[in-house]
Amino acid sequence: MELSCASCAARNRVPAKRLLDKAKCAQCKTPLLPLSRPVALASAQDFEELVRDSALPVLVDFWAAWCGPCRMVAPEMEKLARDRSERVLVAKVDTEALPTVAQRFNIRSIPTMILFRGGAEARRLSGAMPAAEISRQLEL
């Protein structure tokens, strides 16, 4: 999967199974990990790799740019990514850009958050809510 460097915005390819390792940006050498912000998944292949190979549970936010509640949840997902970076990896799937992924998981309303453990769906939650409530309901 590709990660953007927070410092220089360079794209860096990092295998999902190595997300607990220490990785640095190839361009500016700034540490890329731990991930303290949501990862925007660019392809179905990146989604598959992340959910299948991540050593941490993966919380995926299914959203769309036109969705008001999704825009309200975005900063809450940022908080979760920052505050729980050692326990969960937060990712985002734009349902407009990756409709096959959304269809595969029967996403009917957004925002929908799905927690994956060991490559399988563990819990699901829909609707806009604060980070603390998301964490409580998904048992993060």
Please, which residues have CB within 8 angstroms of residue 113's CB and are 6 or more apart in sequence?
59, 60, 61, 62, 73, 77, 124, 125, 126, 134, 138
Residue 138 near residue 59 (C-beta atoms within 8 A): yes
The residue type found at 85 is S
28 is catalytic: no
Return the closest-CA partner of residue 59 out of 77, 36, 43: 77
One of 5, 8, 25, 70 is an active-site residue; which one? 70
One of 8, 25, 28, 67 is an active-site residue; which one? 67
70 is catalytic: yes
Active site residues: 67, 70
